[in-house]
Amino acid sequence: MDLIGLLLTLGMATLYIGFASGMGFVARRGWIDKNKRWERSLAVAYGLLIFLPASILIQYYEAWSLGLRITVILLGVISLAITFLRPAWLPTQLWSRTISRRYSALSMGIICAWCILAWRIQMSPAALFLGLAACLAGLSSLRSSLQNA
């Protein structure tokens, strides 16, 4: 696998695992407090509109081997379960917004690097635009995480 393929794989995997963690956080908020019907509806919408389509996209991405697709899906499901259950054996700092924002900054950085390489090869304005958006999102997440640290 070349560098551009590796960055694409890492970017897609980190985004998917991030979506799965987000689903776990949203579902936990909706199901722990029985009085928050809005939170429960938000969790269902997030699952149907973001997590389910991302899962389907990963399964049908034929550039990856079946083993890699299954591994990414399993890591996502494990991430969802861990963020929903928040087991006591994991450090409580893991559930902070700072960690989530740093993860987001890392993921956006990987995507930005892939976009820049893709733009250099294809000279596609779309890749450059996506790279700029990922760069801005990553810098915003990193700035927020450093302010809260």
Give the separation between CA 89 and CA 106, rounded to whole angstroms: 25
pTM: 0.83
Residue 100's pLDDT is what? Answer: 86
Residue 13's pLDDT is what? Answer: 93
Residue 67's pLDDT is what? Answer: 95
- Sign (positive/negative) of CA torsion 84, 25, 29, 46? negative
Residue 148's pLDDT is what? Answer: 67
Terminal-to-terminal C-alpha distance of the chain = 37
Mean pLDDT for each 10-residue chunk of the chain (149 residues)? 86 91 84 74 84 90 93 95 90 84 89 89 84 88 77
Domain range annotation of the chain:
1-91, 96-149
- Apex CA 25: angle with CA 68 and CA 15, to 5°? 35
Q: Give the CA radius of gyration of the chain.
A: 17
Residue (of 46, 54, 145, 148) closest to 103 by Cα position: 145
